[in-house]
């Protein structure tokens, strides 16, 4: 498990700015560079993204690693939408493994939506955001409402610290997501529901749009990751993660950090 709170100190801070959407800080030690949405370290501070300086293609934390579980399904002519840039981990890793044997193959379209222009600048400066990557600088809800593309993977990681956007609970948002998803596509979302009731209400909402749900529960994280599809997700298992050469190459310890994967179909 990666815990950088002890190193999130003033002497390791290499960037700070106030943005329209709140404070943003970047920290660095000998091994990692990481992003936080806070002005001062504290017990409520959460890390928004991390890059291993020696192995920038590796995904550093179990929650972020689980956002790549769509790789357990073969994808041809991948069309990917990533909502929430953070430390550019999704962009950096997918471009690294593109075209590798038994990997994702060719990525035909790869778009990112990020509302905060400062995050885009920091991703370019500190987090190896691939050159010429397509980024739409706007609200995720606005983008998906007017989207005319069809994707076979949509990743959603857009909450700030522990605060989810209100539209996550909106039927119209999920209908727009569904409308922009290929028939065999998958959606992955990183969530931190406050209560069991919050999670139950969200699952009822999501099940009205998607036939199949896989819920990833972690050993030492409050977050959960949900996978959504109209095709069965029963193949998303801890054993499948452990036996996947691709997942082991980018997330070698993920299988040990998952408590359970629940399936609702």
- In which domain, by residue range, is 36 found? 5-52
Specify whether 87 is located in the same domain as 218.
yes
- Tens digit of each residue's pLDDT (9 = 90 or more) over 237-263: 999 999 999 999 999 999 999 999 999
Structural domain count, the chain:
2
Specify whether 154 is located in the same domain as 252.
yes
% of the chain at pLDDT higher than 70: 95
205 in any annotated domain:
yes
Side-chain-facing half-sphere of 66: CA atoms under 13 Å: 29
Tokens 């002519």: give the residue: 77
pTM of the model: 0.94
Specify whether 86 is located in the same domain as 206.
yes
CA distance 165 to 188: 16
- Tens digit of each residue's pLDDT (9 = 90 or more) over 25-65: 999 999 999 999 877 665 556 788 999 999 998 899 999 99
Instruction: Identify the band that residue 1 occupies on the pLDDT scale cut at 50, 70 and 90.
Output: low
228 in any annotated domain:
yes
Long-range CB contacts for residues 204-209, cutoff 8 Å, separation at least 24:
205/169, 205/171, 205/174, 206/174, 207/264, 208/171, 208/174, 209/171, 209/174, 209/175, 209/177, 209/178
Alpha-helical (H) ranges within the chain are 62-66, 89-97, 117-126, 140-145, 171-179, 196-207, 238-243, 245-250, 254-257
């Amino acid at each position: 498990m990666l815990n950088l709170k002890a190193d999130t100190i003033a002497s390791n801070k290499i960037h700070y700015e106030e943005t329209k959407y709140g404070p943003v800080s970047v920290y660095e030690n000998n091994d990692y560079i990481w992003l936080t949405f806070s002005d001062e370290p504290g017990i409520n501070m959460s890390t928004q993204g991390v890059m291993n300086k020696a192995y920038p293609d590796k995904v550093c934390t179990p929650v972020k690693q689980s956002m790549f579980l769509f790789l357990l399904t073969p994808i041809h002519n991948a069309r990917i939408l990533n909502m929430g840039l953070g430390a550019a981990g999704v962009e950096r890793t997918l471009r690294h493994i593109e075209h590798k044997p038994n990997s994702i193959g060719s990525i035909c379209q790869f778009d990112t939506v990020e509302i905060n222009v400062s995050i885009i600048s920091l991703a370019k400066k500190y987090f190896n955001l691939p050159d010429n990557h397509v980024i739409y600088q706007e609200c995720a809800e606005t983008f998906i409402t007017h989207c005319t593309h069809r994707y076979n993977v949509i990743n959603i990681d857009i909450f700030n610290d522990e605060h989810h956007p209100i539209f996550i609970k909106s039927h119209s948002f999920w209908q727009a997501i569904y409308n922009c998803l290929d028939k065999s596509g998958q959606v992955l979302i990183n969530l931190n529901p406050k209560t069991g009731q919050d999670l139950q209400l969200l699952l009822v909402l999501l099940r009205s749009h998607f036939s199949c749900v896989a819920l990833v529960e972690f050993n030492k994280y409050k977050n959960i990751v949900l996978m959504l599809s109209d095709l069965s997700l029963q193949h998303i298992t801890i054993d499948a993660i452990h036996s996947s050469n691709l997942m082991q190459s980018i997330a070698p310890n993920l299988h040990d950090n998952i408590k359970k994967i629940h399936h609702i179909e």
